[in-house]
Amino acid sequence: MASIPGSQAPLRYKDAGVDIDAGDALVERIKPLAQKTMRAGVLAGIGGFGALFEVPRRYREPVLVAGTDGVGTKLRMAFALDRHDSVGIDLVAMSVNDILVQGAEPLFFLDYFACGKLEVGQAEQVIAGIARGCELACCALIGGETAEMPDSYPDGEYDLAGFAVGVVEKSCIVDGSSVKPGDRLLGIASSGLHSNGFSLVRRVLMRRLGGISSELLSETIGSQRLDDALMTPTRIYVASLLAPMQAGQIKALAHITGGGIVGNLPRVLPQGCAAILDRRSWPKPPVFDWLQEQGGIETAEMDRVFNNGLGMIAVVDADQADALQAALSASGEQVYAIGEVIAQPQGAAQVDIT
């Protein structure tokens, strides 16, 4: 046996900053959370080297659709406020909403949680949010990875990544190719900021308040405390929008994330088509007006950073717009007729918000 220099005690992984027992304890806490998300098709989930999922047999020509995302600098708000129960919902929402816009039914989700020192209670809160997001999206949490990496993250901080896989019938892929002038635009309300623009949000807070804490963010904005308004999780639209997407009632669907309306709506418009929107046609949550006023942010900058109250924009045939708006409203969404598709004037922007 090799001698130990200086007769020091044998080293363990825990001495290097990695606590295997804490990791095992977290896995045991995760298992019942993941179990609540199980759905038909799961063959093997949490605990194995790889998760197994069977594509639903009702699809004749199934096409898999995959998406990945994170939570971004909204995590800095979570650390400052010590609020970790909702960022998991954000993580799921950003990926499942992305695959939904192509008509895909979310099937399963995997997460990656990385930290410097694993705090089991904190991690459990985060993953409980991920499980809740999966329930809202009707997809299974079937795997993930928890990485404890000493000296890579400050104590109490972590990073998140998420991966969603869905399926769509090949003949039902929604790609916006049938969009034409005269089609109507329906805006589906966001729950607030969602998970975009928080680097600018934090800059506004530092300029206006000099810091970020529950005490400093206690003022009321509309009907909410400011901290609650900022941390409201991203809305998940699967339950209300999947059926009309699969039924062909929506020609194109834009998820309004980073880049705002002006950056995301063009992604689903064919060449030669433009969208004109009336910004007076939908209400903005008060937090957007507060940020614009306190930060002295120009309207054009607000338009390309934030969703400004719309989490999704659907392009629909003019003859079906009223019926779809009524159906989505009945399902619990706040829906507004916000504009129409026109032939793009030469040299004009593809999105005009007036």
Cβ atoms of 166 and 141 within 8 Å: the answer is: no
Average pLDDT over residues 284-307: 96
Mean pLDDT within 15-43: 79
The predicted structure's pLDDT at residue 40: 87
Residues 106/100, Cβ–Cβ less than 8 Å: yes
Confidence of residue 7 (pLDDT cuts 50, 70, 90): low
pTM reported for the whole predicted model: 0.92
Q: Tens digit of pLDDT for each residue in 59-110? A: 999 999 999 999 999 999 999 999 999 999 999 999 999 999 999 999 999 9
Question: Is pLDDT at 42 greater than 60 in this prediction?
Answer: yes
More confident residue, 160 or 36: 160
**Which residue is associated with the tokens 């194109």?**
252
pLDDT at 30 over 80: no
Closest CA to 111 of 141, 72, 83, 132: 141
pLDDT in tens, 200-225: 999 999 999 999 999 999 999 989 99
* H helices present in the chain, as ranges: 20-35, 74-81, 87-100, 120-137, 198-209, 226-231, 238-246, 260-264, 286-295, 299-305, 321-330
Q: What is the mean pLDDT of residues 287-295?
A: 96
What integer pLDDT is reported at residue 48 of this predicted model?
74
Report the DSSP beta bridge partners of residue 165: 66, 108
Q: Which residues contact 289 (CB under 8 A, 6 or more apart)?
A: none
pLDDT of 45 above 90: no
Beta-strand pair 220-221/140-148: unpaired
- When the pLDDT of each residue in the chain is averaged and rounded to a whole number, the result is 92
Between CA 130 and CA 240, with CA 73 as vertex, the angle to 5 degrees is 45
CB 52 within 8 A of CB 43: yes
pLDDT tens, position by position, 117-164: 999 999 999 999 999 999 999 999 998 889 999 989 999 999 999 999
Judged by phi (left if over 0) then psi (alpha if -120 to 50, else beta), residue 248 lies in left
